[in-house]
Amino acid sequence: MAPLVLITGAAGLIGRYLLCTAPRWAPQWEVKGLTRQDVDLTDERALRRLWRDLHPHAVIHCAAQSRTGPCQQNPALARRINVDATAFLAELSADIPFLFFSSDQVFDGAKGWYVETDPVNPLNVYGETKAEAERLVLQNPRHSVIRVGLNAGTSPTGDRSFVEDMRNSVKDGTSLTLFTDEFRCPLPAGMTARAIWELIEQNRPSLYHLGGAERLSRWEIGQALTSWYPELRGHIHPGSVESYVGAPRPPDLSMNCAKLQGLLSFPLSGFRAWLAGRTSTGMDLWDYPD
């Protein structure tokens, strides 16, 4: 029988892409996705029963409360989902590979082009919970933390990626302000999935950064997407993060991904290069080619 890998958060963007790409990139694994309907990750008794029934050989932990607004509004719930549930899953996975998805939000954004050895300094509750969970996961040398930035793609519910958020925001003709002074390294979710499957196969536990090769402002990202989504034209406008009211937003969360890139068989693309390549080939925008 093939070894079993569990993917939590299978209804989320990255979890779904991992499931969909497994036949292509991880045919040697039996893959089972877990959603909230399958198990409540904050229910330790239910999780113990699941482990006894399934005996997984590896875990990819994508599930999280990942919206900064809800985390800021309910820190206790955010901690229960992002920290406590992660710690218990890591405990259950003590003797097997465990990959935990963290975030570029563990940094304060004052520097940019962060490397794995840079100190964390989160500005919001979401980042705080991810930084705390990272420390717990990395206590086990078998386990890995993958810090990801913005992931682009599509989901069955139409509300899981930043691209979908942008398109939904302008559906009724509403204008959307995109910051010219907030920088990220966006990456297609299919590319993220391929990188994770290669890392699982190599079994090289560590802390890694995973993002696109290009540092772009939110405004530059929006402009790049208008060639694929013309409904954005005329509805996105430049602005400054200084005018934003809400959870603190780190200004520059660009990440240096050289450590992980050195292990991969393919280059981590820049976002605009990815979009341009799809235009020239006529391929589905978010699919990953062989």
Residue 288 in domain? no
Asked whether residue 90 is domain-assigned, the answer is: yes
Evaluate whether residue 106 is within a structural domain: yes
CB 253 within 8 A of CB 112: yes
Could you give the percent of the chain with pLDDT greater than 70? 97
pLDDT in tens, 37-63: 999 999 999 999 999 999 999 999 999
Total-model pTM:
0.94
pLDDT of 289 over the 60 cut = no
User: Average pLDDT of 125-154?
Assistant: 96
Read out DSSP for the chain?
-PPEEEEESTTSHHHHHHHHHHHHH-TTSEEEEE-TTT--TT-HHHHHHHHHHH--SEEEE------HHHHHH-HHHHHIIIIIHHHHHHHHTTTS-EEEEEEGGGS-SSS-SB-TTSPP---SHHHHHHHHHHHHHTTSTTEEEEEE--EE---TTS-SSHHHHHHHHTTTS--EEEESS-EE--EEHHHHHHHHHHHHHHT--SEEEE--SS-EEHHHHHHHHTTT-GGGTTTEEEE-GGG--SS---SB--B--HHHHTT-SSPPPPHHHHHHHHHHHT--TT----
pLDDT band at 282 (very low <50, low <70, confident <90, very high): low
The answer to whether residue 243 sits within a structural domain is no
Would you say residue 113 has pLDDT above 70? yes
Decide if 271 is inside a domain: yes
| Averaged pLDDT score across all residues of the chain | 93
Least confident of 101-105, 215-219, 233-237, 276-280: 276-280
Q: Which domain holds residue 97?
A: 4-157+185-215+255-281
Look at residue 279 in the predicted model and tell me its pLDDT. Answer: 67
Q: Tell whether the model's pLDDT for residue 283 goes beyond 60.
A: no
Residue 55: CATH number of its domain = 3.40.50.720
Confirm whether 163 is domain-assigned: no
Whether 224 is covered by a domain: the verdict is: no
Instruction: Identify the weakest region by mean pLDDT among 45-49, 205-209, 219-223, 245-249.
Output: 245-249
What is the domain count for the chain? 1
For residue range 169-185, list pLDDT tens digits in order.
998 888 999 999 999 99
What's the pLDDT tens digit per position in 154-171? 888 888 889 989 999 998
Residue 37 inside a domain? The answer is yes
